[in-house]
Every structure is written in structure tokens, then in C-alpha cells.
Structure 1
Amino acid sequence: MLDEPVRSVAVVGGGIVGWSAAVALKRRVPGVSVTIVPVAPPANALADRMPQTLPSAIGFHDDVGLREEDAVLRTGSGWRLGTLFEGWAEGQPAYVHAYGSYGQSFGTASFHHHWTRAAHAGSAAPYDAHSPAAMLARAGRMLPPNPEPGSPFADIQAGLVLDIGRYRAMLEAFARHLGVVVRAGEVVEVRLRGGDGFIERVALADGGSVEADLFVDASGPDSVVRGAIDTAWEDWRPWLACDRLMQASSAAATPSTLDDVVALSGGWRWQSALPGATSHGLCYASGFLRDEDAHRLLAEVSGVEPRPAIGFRQGTRPEPWLRNCVAIGDAAVVIEPLEWTNLHLAHSAIDRIISAMPGRACHPLEIADYNRQAVAEVTRVRDFVLCHYATARRPEPFWQPRAALPESLARTLRLFAERGRLPFFEEETFTRDSWLAILLGQGLIPRRIDPLIGATPAHQSDAAMAGYRAAIARALPQFPTAAQHHAAQHARITR
């Protein structure tokens, strides 16, 4: 029994998370039959509803064989290089968290140690001025498809801004093309097997049912399948106060590869550009901002009528996989969309399911290792999001600490604040450069300069940093604007 392979998988959930799982399982696990029950995700299924993605979404497309023409261009989606954070630390200028390297290492120490020494001397340029991706995004430009190898722009990665409806339809069409069986219907009961408590089948409203060796719950925070086994939940609300979200879509603005995230008295708001529309949103804490005030604020910024507010509860399942059911997306973890990690965590879970695919018996040791990795990953993502709040400097009550930080983040901040070092974590979503972009961008300057920096005189460090900034500035005009890039890419599919 332990060695018998999984022969059938049932995915419950008809949002982009469920269709992504069905596509990946059918494409990457030969011989497995995949059935999807495409129940509509609720409004508060953030992984199914948020248009922004991390660069890892493009890697997911590559893994399942989706071309850029189909996954991005024909779905009306666009590219993004980073996020501009405004108002998160009073007295600090706005800064960009972009996807790529910051600075260029030289001498015996990492680049940020050279920058820290200049900051202590009061002579440092903004940290993101040393990021090719950030400067491209600030200039409203986009990287060409094949940058010159070895150039400062070669390691830039782009995320996406999705047209959710068209993107979901593309995934559905692809899944059907691959042979995924679609079984429409609402789940009315989850039947457990006597003895071992495995899920035997899910019963549907029309009287039919779906049986499988393995069930993937992508139904959203209600977790209609995985919740039949247990309801254990780790609550993150002591640290992350936001519990409401409001969205709006307005007419297309000037194309941009840079999102804007602005801190407010009771939360934060965003704006992102799609090729055919502009996405607006407001994430806030109901204890500090009323729905009617959020509605008024978002309507003023967007110029359109916002959609009704939705509520969510941040936290995670301590065991997303139990017996023969694994929860993904908001059925496994709910986190506010700051830094746009929602779909990334779902894709990561899908990839981990495929890599860890057990025998039909779903041996507890194999499932425990999956859960260890999954929980480590979401915990570190929680820490990265929480880091924005922990290092923010604003006077309003919303921004004041409510509980001691989780030790994993507290240790990270202690270590960095002392001498600019960052600890190693095995399951890390964000690179060291991303952590540095937030920490230094929000004005957390290490108290001491790393002794390794002493091998390079300060004037040499300053000259090298100035030369790097100048090289970036000289190169920017050669890159297309966001509008030119989008037009050129669309010309490829209309020729």
C-alpha cells in the first residue's frame, strides 16, 4: 500500500489557484487523472483575487509550458518591476523594493556595508539609487526580453499584474486542453472513511460525488474540504492588524512598471497599472478605520465607486496537509497582500505537492516533511510583511506595537540593527537584497560598521558607488518605456 502511487487527484476550487493546481498536476505528474470541482472562490480568497504577483509566477508558467503570449499578453496582463513605498517612515523619502540586485559588491564586504558607512557619514545617496530595477521602474521603463549578459540589468526579474477574469479563463482552457476532467457542482458534504479518517469522496449538490486518492483544497478561507478533517488555525492577528480590504478599478492610466503603496492612518492603499485598467485597493484594520471612511477615501483616489469591503483573518494552518487532503491558497494561509505574496504561496504549495507526491497511503513522515517546509515558508513570509510594520515610524495608534514580535523576526532585526547582518533561513521567499531594500529604505541603519569594510578606504567606496549610479543613469535611455515595451510585445502576436 505504501508504494502504490497516487492515481487520481481531485481539486476543489474554481479560482486561479484551483485551475493552477489542476494544470500543474496534469502537466507534471504523468499518468495521474485530475478532476476539478470548480466552485467559485469567495470574495475574500485573496490568492484568487489579487492581481499583482511576484516574479515566481513567470517561473510557474515556464514549468507548466505556458508561453508568455498566452499567459500574459492574450490575458490582458502586464509586467511590474517593483513597488514604491510612501509614508511608511516619517522623515524618510519614498523608496522602491524592486526585484533584482542592489549595488555591486567590491572589496572585502558586501555592497550594503559600503553604503552603511556612507550613511553614517551623511553622504549616502538613496539606497534604491543603486538598484537597476528600481531606477528602471522609477523612470517608467521596462527591461527588454534579452538583456546583455553580465550587465547590471541582467538579473532583473519582473512580476505581473493580472487581469484576473481573463487569466482564470486562460487557465481553464489550458486545463481542459490537457485533459483535466471538469465536474461542476457545489460541495455539500465531505465523507470520511471509517478507521483512518481519510477523505473517501466529496458529495455534490446534484447527488453525484467525486472520489480520489488525493484531494487538493483550493476553495478559499472556508476550506470546505480540508476543514472537514480539522479546523486548527494559527492566528496572526496579534501582529498583523489589517482585517478589511476594498478594491476598485478605473480606466487605464499611463503604463507603469511600478506599483504605489501608501501608508495611511489605519492601513495602506495601493495603485497598480494594467494594460487596460488601473487597480486600486485599500487594506486596513476595522478597529482603526471605518468602512464608510475607507470607501470615501478610495473613491476619492480612484475616481470610481469601490466594490464592497471584504473581511479576512490573517493566519495559517499548522498542518496544511493532513491524511489525504492538502490545503493551498487561502485554505492554507491568509495574509494581507502587502508585497503580493498570495499567489506565490499557492504556486509554491503546488510545486511542493508535486515534488513530495507520496504513495496512496500518504505516510505521516512524508506529510510531516511537507508541512515543515510549508509552515517554515509562510512563517518567513509573515515575518517579511510584518517587518514593514515593525520598522515603520508613524504616530497613529494603528502603527504602534500591539504584541512582542515573533522571535524569528525579532532575531533578524536585532542581528541587522547591530552590524548589518542577516540570518539564514532555509525556506526564504525573499532574497537578501529584498530584505535590505525594506530595512534600509525605512531608515533602519545598523549601529556599527562591519569591520570588513576597513580594507577599502571610504573615498574609494564613495567613488565606486557614484560610478555605479552613473552607469545606471547612462543606460536608462536605451530601454523602452512601459508603453513601448507593451506595444512591441503585442506586435509579436498580431503579426
Structure 2
Amino acid sequence: MSDREGPIRRVLVAGGGLVGWSAAAALRRRLPWLEVVILPIAPPADAIADRMRATLPSILGFHEDLGLSNADAVVRTGSGVRLGTLFEGWTAGGADPVADYVHAYGRHGRPMEGGSFHLHWARAARHQRPAPFDRFSVAAAMARAGRFAVPADDPEALVGGFEHGLHLDPERYTAMLRAFALHCGVREQPGDLAGVAIGADGFVTAAVLAEGGRIEADLFVDATGPAARLRGALDDRRTSWAKWLPCDRLILAEDAAMPADPLDRVTARDCGWDWTGGGSRGLVYASAFAGEAAFAGEGVAIDAGTRPQPWLRNCVAIGDAATAVEPLEWTNLHLAHSAIDRIVAMLPARDCAPVELAEYNRQCAAEADRVRDFLALHYTASDRPEPFWRAVAEVAPPPSLAHSLAQFRARGRLPFYEEETFAKDSWLAVLIGQNVRPERDDPLIALVPPDRAAAAMTHYAQALAAAVAALPPASAASHFLLRS
């Protein structure tokens, strides 16, 4: 029998932040026959997935898969509800006087006689002045009003059909994950990584510790941040996205005195953007355009891009070790969790057969590319006049994003892509928020007269606003999460 035959029995996770402890907990909890060892290396300053407080709604599904309750994963870690992001100043306005928009999670309006709601809204926007598109989103309406309710069981209910993410306290949340992982049987091996031992077949045989000794395993999971201290020992192949995502510096500050708010505020600036929300504030900018600004040269580096093979032989990179992007739209931890889910679902034998790893890498690439497209959309569709914004808007978008834009501009349709992180309504929120509009009506809405559609939209917006006004304040969200 070959040394590489048989099932994987022992896994080493390198990295002790949110990503590393998430991986260790999930692998041990969901594949309980595995021996899981973690080398809890402190995450570096440029490990964005380990540092951002804002998360996507998918984190709740990750908790559910682990068997963590809202009390465990939300309330006791000091997490707050996050309903969306308010984007300010990302366009010059164009023909639309609304200078901001909310990207929240869930449906906008309701279909009318077989035609998607956004098609009716787009037709009305060409001839009338309907309420802004985000006023028809349940989550956006709650976020703007500072209100919250647990989504109704019936997705068709007026206050239903939406999702929410969280604002984490990274330190408390990591402590919770660590306690949970250790409870599940993960073994913690204190120390730091000094090197990687590689066998004649190119497989990693052990992590060499700075304190002396080594940790052997069948599978090595690299959660050490952009440096990829394990996976980088096998090769340094990487695809850069800098021409589409040009911001290369991040300044982050914690702000414990910041009042709780379910809405992050992201504001475009001359050479990048800044944000406040969830107990943190920060600035993301392109150093080439910072000039003599007071912050020029400050912060940590961001090198936007991805590894074409995050899983090579018996070593797999996750989080920033696999894909690094600026925290616009808060996808960093989501990509890490998604990779962890794939490892669980697609765990190979000890030989890590190339045909199996190829499928894992294909799915990761498909997801990463569409995250890249979604983030790049914010820049490509901007009409701000500053040199930074004009430079990035003039770069031809990735082919997949160009195809989505062409389809939407033609008749308001969006093509389907496998492994999408953001649902159709999220794409619509940003496209319409950035003043991208269909040029022609979709034939599907021709049977609904414009006046009748406008009346239905007005009625819906008024009913939604009244329902939201009657909801409890978002500050009471933890009370409702405990009961859900």
C-alpha cells in the first residue's frame, strides 16, 4: 500500500485568528473522526478576514452548521445585528439627485404579473420619479430607520424575505470559537512557524516550529494571512486584481464608544473610501493617488488578488492566504467560511488526487472571480470626476463583469453565474444605486400599464414604511435573537 493511500486522519490548522479557529472548529465538529491540531499563530495586521467586524448573512449559516446558538455566537460575544451598508458619494449624481443608497440583503418590492419588480421600477424611473430603489427593500428600510425584527417565517410577509449579518467583536468572538473548538476536541499546540518540511513527492510532511520540534499531518490548512506561510512554501503563483481593485492601503481603528447601528456607512473620497460602523472606522485608499495627504503611507498593505490553486497537494490556503481583497462589501470572512465548507464537503483521501483538488479550486476560483466583479462594479460604474476614480473607471472590466453590465444595460437582465456570493437583489441594489439603468423595457412587463405599476409601487412603499416604523429599535435586536 502507498503511503498516500487511505483516509485523512490528522489535520494541522496554522493560524489563530477568526479564520484559523473557524477552520479548526468546523473540521472537528463536522468531521469528528479527524484529529485536528491548531498552531494558533496571531494573525498579522494585513489579515483582513481576521480583523473586520462586519460580516455577511452567511455567517449565521456557518454557526448553524456548527450547532452554535444565537446565545453562543451572537449575544455572549457582544455581536450586533448588521442590516446593510449605506454608500455615500460613490457617484456624482447624474440625472438622479439621490446621493446615497443602501445595499441590504433580501428582496426589493414584489413581482408584478410575472415581471420582476426592478423592471417596473426602471421603467418608472425613465418617465417619472419613483421612490428610491432601496425604499422598497425591507432590510434597507429597517436599517435607515434603526429598526429591527427577526425575519418572518413566511418570506412573502411584508416584513419578511430579508437577511442580516453581524457586527463582531473580533477578540470576544475568537475567544468563543477557541473555547468551542477545544470543547469539540481540537488540540492546541502553542508556538510559531519556522519552516515547512516538504517530501520528495512535493507533499508537506511537517510544520517546523520556531521553538523546536515539528507537527506532522495528512492535511495542512493555511490560515496565516496574505503571507501564506504554509501554502507559500509550495509555490508563489498568484493572480493580481490590482487594476480593478486599486486601493492598496488600509488604516483601521477601533471605536468602542461608537453607538450601535445596524447600518455601516461607506463614503467615497478623492483617492479611496472610508467607513464607520459596528465599533470600527477605517480608510482604504490608493497610495499612488494619495499625493501629499496626511495619511499617505500609513496603514497596512492590501494586494488584491487570488491564488489560482489554493489547494495544492496536501496544503490548502484559506482566507487572505487564498484570496485578498479590500473590505468593501465585507466579503473577507465569508470567503474563508466558504472555503472551510468546501474542505468539509470535498475532503479527499490522503493522496489528494489532482482531479478532486481541481474541482475544489475551480469552485473557489468561480466564487472569488464573482466577488472581484461585485467589488469592481462599485468603481467601474462610478462617474466621480477625481483622477483616481476616472483612472479606475477607464480600465476595461473583467469579461464576466462586462457581460453582466451589458445584459443589465440592455433590458435589466442579469446572467446566472455559479458560486455567486451575492444574490440578484444585491446586484440590483448596487447597479441601480450606482445609476446603471436598463436602456429598454423588458417585454415581460408590457402587460402591466405604467400607471398601475406606479400605484402598486407607491402602495408598497407606504405600507412598508408604516410597518417598519412600528418595529422595535435595533438596539433591542439581541433580545429577539435570543428568542429566535
TM range (shorter): over 0.9
| CA-CA distance at 1:252 after TM superposition | 2.8
| Structure 1 unmatched runs, 5+ | 297-307
- Between 399-408 and 336-345, report the one with greater CA deviation: 399-408
Structure-2 separation of matches of 1:207 and 1:254: 47
Is 1:289 aligned to residue 290 of structure 2?
yes
| CA-CA distance at 1:144 after TM superposition | 3.1
| CA-CA distance at 1:45 after TM superposition | 0.4
Structure-2 separation of matches of 1:438 and 1:103: 16
Aligned residue number for residue 363 of structure 2 = 373
Is 1:104 aligned to residue 114 of structure 2?
no
1:84-233 aligned at under 5 Å gives the runs: 84-91=86-93, 92-144=98-150, 150-194=156-200, 196-233=201-238
| CA-CA distance at 1:428 after TM superposition | 0.5
| CA-CA distance at 1:254 after TM superposition | 3.4
Structure-1 separation of matches of 2:127 and 2:83: 31
Structure-1 separation of matches of 2:396 and 2:475: 45
Structure-2 separation of matches of 1:264 and 1:149: 38
Report Cα offsets for 1:245-299 as digits up to 9, x if no partner: 01122243332111100000000011113xxxx3111111111125862389xxx
Aligned residue number for residue 339 of structure 1 = 329
Structure-1 separation of matches of 2:326 and 2:465: 35
Amino acid at match of 1:213: D
From 302, 305, 308, the equivalent of 1:312 is 302
From 449, 460, 463, the equivalent of 2:455 is 463
Question: What RMSD over aligned residues (CA atoms) do the two structures have, in Å?
Answer: 1.8
Task: Decide whether aligned partners of structure 1 residues 68 and 282 sit closer, same or farther in structure 2, where only a CA change above 3 A counts.
Answer: same
From 432, 438, 442, the equivalent of 1:440 is 432
Question: Does the Cα contact within 8 Å between 1:14 and 1:40 map onto a contact in 2?
Answer: yes
Task: Decide whether aligned partners of structure 1 residues 407 and 70 sit closer, same or farther in structure 2, where only a CA change above 3 A counts.
Answer: same
| Structure 2 unmatched runs, 5+ | none
From 65, 68, 71, the equivalent of 1:69 is 71
Aligned residue number for residue 49 of structure 1 = 51
Structure-2 separation of matches of 1:394 and 1:268: 12
| CA-CA distance at 1:93 after TM superposition | 2.3
From 372, 397, 415, the equivalent of 1:382 is 372
Q: TM-score, normalised by structure 1?
A: 0.93
Structure-2 separation of matches of 1:288 and 1:11: 38
Amino acid at match of 1:212: A
Question: Does the Cα contact within 8 Å between 1:291 and 1:309 map onto a contact in 2?
Answer: no
| CA-CA distance at 1:145 after TM superposition | 6.4
Structure-2 separation of matches of 1:379 and 1:149: 30
- Between 368-377 and 412-421, report the one with greater CA deviation: 412-421
Report Cα offsets for 1:422-443 as digits up to 9, x if no partner: 1110110000000000001111
Amino acid at match of 1:53: T
SS of structure 1 residue aligned to 2:149: coil
Report Cα offsets for 1:35-63 as digits up to 9, x if no partner: 00011111000011111100001110110
Structure-2 separation of matches of 1:473 and 1:485: 19
Report Cα offsets for 1:433-489 as digits up to 9, x if no partner: 000000011111111111221111111101111111111012113311012334666
Structure-1 separation of matches of 2:118 and 2:129: 14
Aligned residue number for residue 240 of structure 2 = 235
1:341-360 aligned at under 5 Å gives the runs: 341-360=331-350
Structure-2 separation of matches of 1:58 and 1:257: 16
Report Cα offsets for 1:54-89 as digits up to 9, x if no partner: 000111011011111121111111110010000001
Structure-2 separation of matches of 1:28 and 1:414: 42
SS of structure 2 residue aligned to 1:287: helix
SS of structure 2 residue aligned to 1:293: coil
Question: Does the Cα contact within 8 Å between 1:147 and 1:153 map onto a contact in 2?
Answer: no
Amino acid at match of 1:356: M
Report how many aligned residue pairs link the two structures.
476
Question: Does the Cα contact within 8 Å between 1:108 and 1:455 map onto a contact in 2?
Answer: no
- Between 218-227 and 284-293, report the one with greater CA deviation: 284-293
SS of structure 2 residue aligned to 1:23: helix
Question: Does the Cα contact within 8 Å between 2:80 and 2:477 map onto a contact in 1?
Answer: no
Task: Decide whether aligned partners of structure 1 residues 131 and 176 sit closer, same or farther in structure 2, where only a CA change above 3 A counts.
Answer: same
Structure-2 separation of matches of 1:431 and 1:239: 21
Report Cα offsets for 1:338-358 as digits up to 9, x if no partner: 000000000000000111000
Is 1:407 aligned to residue 399 of structure 2?
yes
Aligned residue number for residue 58 of structure 1 = 60
| CA-CA distance at 1:149 after TM superposition | 5.5
Question: Does the Cα contact within 8 Å between 2:151 and 2:163 map onto a contact in 1?
Answer: no
SS of structure 1 residue aligned to 2:160: coil
Aligned residue number for residue 267 of structure 2 = 262
Q: TM-score, normalised by structure 2?
A: 0.95
SS of structure 2 residue aligned to 1:138: helix
Amino acid at match of 1:205: A
Amino acid at match of 1:237: A
SS of structure 1 residue aligned to 2:64: helix
**Sequence identity percentage:** 53
Question: Does the Cα contact within 8 Å between 2:49 and 2:319 map onto a contact in 1?
Answer: yes
Report Cα offsets for 1:390-416 as digits up to 9, x if no partner: 111100011114432111111111111
SS of structure 1 residue aligned to 2:453: helix
From 19, 22, 39, the equivalent of 1:20 is 22
Question: Does the Cα contact within 8 Å between 1:41 and 1:219 map onto a contact in 2?
Answer: yes
Amino acid at match of 1:444: V
Structure-2 separation of matches of 1:27 and 1:64: 6
Task: Decide whether aligned partners of structure 1 residues 120 and 149 sit closer, same or farther in structure 2, where only a CA change above 3 A counts.
Answer: closer
1:425-436 aligned at under 5 Å gives the runs: 425-436=417-428
